[in-house]
Amino acid sequence: MKLMVLALLTGFLTGFIFALLKLPIPAPGALPGIVGIIGIYAGFKVYEQLAPWIITMFK
């Protein structure tokens, strides 16, 4: 939970600073950004499951 709060605070501060400096937001649109994050997470989890098989395949 602490990690999620820190991530939220970091994102909030980053967005605030970008708005303060009148810079464009450093993130894709809401839905594409969320889908991208889900894709990264899913790819990581699939690799964790397949890693033993992949390692033995290339030995």
Q: Quick: pLDDT tens for 1-37.
A: 899 899 889 989 988 998 999 998 777 777 887 888 8
Mean pLDDT, rounded, for 35-55: 91
The number of distinct structural domains making up the chain is 1
- Report how far residue 16's alpha carbon sits from residue 9's, in angstroms, rounded to the nearest whole number: 10
Residue in the block written with tokens 């395949």: 57
In sequence order, what are the residues at sequence separation of 6 or more whose Cβ sits closer than 8 angstroms to the Cβ of residue 26?
Answer: 14, 15, 18
Q: In terms of residue numbers, what domain contains 46? A: 2-57
Question: For position 33, what pLDDT does the model report?
Answer: 78
pLDDT the model gives residue 17: 92
CB 52 within 8 A of CB 42: no
User: With 80 as the cut, is the pLDDT of residue 39 above it?
Assistant: yes
> What residue type is assigned to position 55 of the chain?
I
- 28 with 36: CB under 8 angstroms? yes
What is the rounded average pLDDT of the residues 41-56? 92
